[in-house]
Chain A
């Protein structure tokens, strides 16, 4: 069987009903909790700053999808690369970029990762191997394969995560890329973050395909569907995918079923789905609440431990917000810089 499918209802396998996560060190579980909470609180703060007029333009929040990036980052090694779409704040925080630099980019300030010239959708970090932040739906997919092409060429053993949504999954260049990635056995994990809505169009209204990952079979690419509300399931699947790539077997597809709680962007009232649908997800499937329950029920942490984490995260986010307000706007000369490189921007 070329592909496998994980259950939507959690990883309970076999007859042993051991509590979920019981075999995982407490520190690791707390790390997932902390990382997901950071994204959630950061995004809530970004929403507030948008409402205050401090963030402009398009701003796409990641709330609800936190387990996807946190789980996959847990499967990555130093030097692995990632590239994603415009809904990118979570990816940046998860790969270790400084929340201050991300928030200050959202407010268009000098202290932002792109000196205020990129904004929410266009941020990069060479240091953290984060290659954007792309505003054109689907364009990051061949770019991700290209990063993997470079890694294979340089024989450095690195893997690239190319994230895209269910909407991008209908772009032609995704399939052009599948074909070449498999042909050339590129070490790239194609991560379909299926949050079920491409802006306002549900998956059911955009394709007759029963699943998106299975389209990879047409190119001979292995893949699987993953419960994206369960960070532990995501990490496990991520390890399988990364292992496949690192062994030189070519690309791998993960279709991660997730859900965004907020609208497509700040200006989206989300009339295309019911309030009940969203509430049901929040109540029953929330990724942060799930890991919180694992921590508490498995006695990996106490309520007080988690409160301390909550407090720590709140401080980090508040600091980032303060920094993003205090950092000055870029100097006017910045308008005319970084259009052409004088030296090679990077060497192999």
Chain B
């Protein structure tokens, strides 16, 4: 029986890719292990091998096709004795689906309402305009992935100051484990793009010393899970030295890398440390959602004279957003952004939590509930004024994050609102968080362990009594 060859997922977070090149043609016989095609993910070009034996009956997706969704049939493999007609019947229906999928534009799923005012619900009241726009009206923008935005930010800052350098595992010759540092080695050389051995505690300490010595290190953790090995140097050495030295010396540096749950990598590789780092005086903590924020905030973080924890997210790396085309675009640390205006409830989130917050706001708008969504962007120092100001208007608040509930960022926000805006609250604040469990591997359990859009919608209904 003819079998379909499906577009493979070549990384835990891959959703689509480019079928760069076919290495077989119709009529070729293949056996398991033969390389069938080259497939480009957003991180790398990978070879795709045959698992079964047979004859290539029909190629369903032409080489060079971009945006091929994972699990789309890309070819049909015939068993011995079958002819091409079997391929036709096997590929017929699904092939059409695939074409339709491929045609679909790879548009940003998360275009923000305030970026595209036309998308804002007409039912929304027209409150005062956002506090300060991030870039002047009329500025040209370019669709950019979060991955590219981060790379551009580093490259611009490295061009701007000679003492800025990048250090970490696989940042140089490998071009970054998640391809964030793509091209930097070529431009800046091995002196400023330093590949380290797998030795987080050691190289983090070396980076702290380099910062004491007058350099501006950017330390890339392949993921923040591995930063646990370096926690002592981050907290005891980087964060506290300015205070302990009576202001004489400190550690101006950035610790960055993917944080939070990726996909199907289970307990040791899926956790959000925003709340951990948020506790430490001396650290600044940034967690961007959009590509524009990733770029503008990373540039500010590199220039900041303090140690900055910059928490990225693997799932967001490949998402595209509009980024202003400006020579030197920065966003100040410590300023939240009103991502969507509304009057009925304030939803506060940051990082990938914004995905749920914005989806929930869309759903709620269909039922006439207008949510104001605040993207904190910086967790410490936290722009609590922005939250309080909004809650004074909406009188209700729901927080959204992927981290655990006990000692969460949302828990802190609730505390601030109790003390600073108690008389303005018409309902208890609800914290939507990840579940209080280590991350499971099984797909269904993993989905349930994370916060969901439905939970955010439910929480809003509860605080608005609707």
Residues of A at under 8 Å CB distance from B?
81, 83, 112-118, 122-126, 131-136, 139, 141-151, 153-154, 172-173, 176-177, 179-180, 183, 337-348
CA distance A78 to B211 in the complex (A): 20
Residue of B nearest to A116 (CB): B246
Would you call A176 and B203 a contact (CB within 8 A)? yes
Verify if B366 is at the interface (C-beta below 8 Å from A).
Answer: no
> Can you list 9 A-B contacts with CB-CB less than 8 angstroms, sorted by A residue number?
A114-B248, A115-B246, A126-B245, A131-B209, A134-B237, A142-B202, A143-B212, A148-B213, A340-B282
Would you call A153 and B191 a contact (CB within 8 A)? yes
Verify if B260 is at the interface (C-beta below 8 Å from A).
Answer: no
Would you call A339 and B243 a contact (CB within 8 A)? yes
Residue of B nearest to A127 (CB): B248
Residues of A contacting B39 in the complex (Cβ-Cβ under 8 angstroms)? none
Would you call B232 and A139 a contact (CB within 8 A)? yes
Would you call B305 and A341 a contact (CB within 8 A)? yes
Beyond A113-B246, A139-B233, A341-B306, 16 extra complex contacts between A and B, CB < 8 Å: A83-B209, A114-B245, A115-B246, A115-B247, A126-B248, A131-B212, A131-B249, A132-B245, A134-B237, A153-B163, A173-B205, A176-B197, A180-B197, A338-B243, A339-B281, A346-B249
Residues of B contacting A148 in the complex (Cβ-Cβ under 8 angstroms)? 209, 213
CA distance A342 to B211 in the complex (A): 16
Verify if B8 is at the interface (C-beta below 8 Å from A).
Answer: no
Contact partner of A342 (CB less than 8 A), chosen from B191, B204, B305, is B305
Contact partner of A149 (CB less than 8 A), chosen from B209, B241, B282, is B209
Verify if B214 is at the interface (C-beta below 8 Å from A).
Answer: yes
Residue of B nearest to A131 (CB): B212
Q: Would A345 and B244 be within 8 Å (CB), given that A139-B232, A176-B199, A339-B282 are in contact?
A: no
Residue of A nearest to B217 (CB): A146
Residues of B contacting A115 in the complex (Cβ-Cβ under 8 angstroms)? 246-247
Residues of B contacting A123 in the complex (Cβ-Cβ under 8 angstroms)? 245
Residues of A contacting B306 in the complex (Cβ-Cβ under 8 angstroms)? 340-341
Residue of A nearest to B281 (CB): A339
Would you call A126 and B191 a contact (CB within 8 A)? no
Contact partner of A154 (CB less than 8 A), chosen from B206, B212, B214, B233, is B214
Interface 1/0 per residue, B238-274 and A, CB below 8 Å = 0001111111111010000000000000000000000
Would you call B202 and A114 a contact (CB within 8 A)? no
Would you call A146 and B241 a contact (CB within 8 A)? no
Would you call B305 and A179 a contact (CB within 8 A)? no
Residues of A contacting B196 in the complex (Cβ-Cβ under 8 angstroms)? 180
Question: Nearest-CB distance from B189 to chain A (Å)?
Answer: 12
Would you call A150 and B244 a contact (CB within 8 A)? no
The contact size tier of chain B is: 35 or more
Residues of B contacting A342 in the complex (Cβ-Cβ under 8 angstroms)? 305
CA distance A149 to B241 in the complex (A): 19
Verify if B387 is at the interface (C-beta below 8 Å from A).
Answer: no
CA distance A83 to B213 in the complex (A): 12
Would you call B249 and A124 a contact (CB within 8 A)? yes
Residues of B contacting A339 in the complex (Cβ-Cβ under 8 angstroms)? 242-243, 281-282
Residue of B nearest to A145 (CB): B206
Question: Nearest-CB distance from A114 to chain B (Å)?
Answer: 4
Would you call A177 and B206 a contact (CB within 8 A)? yes
CA distance A339 to B238 in the complex (A): 11
Which of B201, B204, B206, B281 has the largest count of A CB atoms less than 10 A from its CB? B206
Q: Would A151 and B213 be within 8 Å (CB), given that A139-B237, A146-B208 are in contact?
A: yes
Contact partner of A117 (CB less than 8 A), chosen from B201, B212, B233, B243, is B243
Verify if B162 is at the interface (C-beta below 8 Å from A).
Answer: yes
Q: Would A143 and B191 be within 8 Å (CB), given that A179-B199, A180-B199 are in contact?
A: no
Would you call B249 and A143 a contact (CB within 8 A)? no
CA distance A126 to B236 in the complex (A): 19
Would you call B205 and A142 a contact (CB within 8 A)? yes
Residues of A contacting B206 in the complex (Cβ-Cβ under 8 angstroms)? 142-143, 145-146, 149, 177, 180
CA distance A117 to B305 in the complex (A): 20
Residue of B nearest to A342 (CB): B305
CA distance A158 to B233 in the complex (A): 24
Residues of A contacting B215 in the complex (Cβ-Cβ under 8 angstroms)? 149-150, 153-154, 348
CA distance A144 to B233 in the complex (A): 13
Q: Would A146 and B246 be within 8 Å (CB), given that A131-B212, A136-B232, A343-B305 are in contact?
A: no
Q: Would A146 and B207 be within 8 Å (CB), given that A179-B197, A183-B197 are in contact?
A: yes
Verify if B210 is at the interface (C-beta below 8 Å from A).
Answer: yes
Residues of B contacting A116 in the complex (Cβ-Cβ under 8 angstroms)? 246
Question: Nearest-CB distance from B234 to chain A (Å)?
Answer: 11
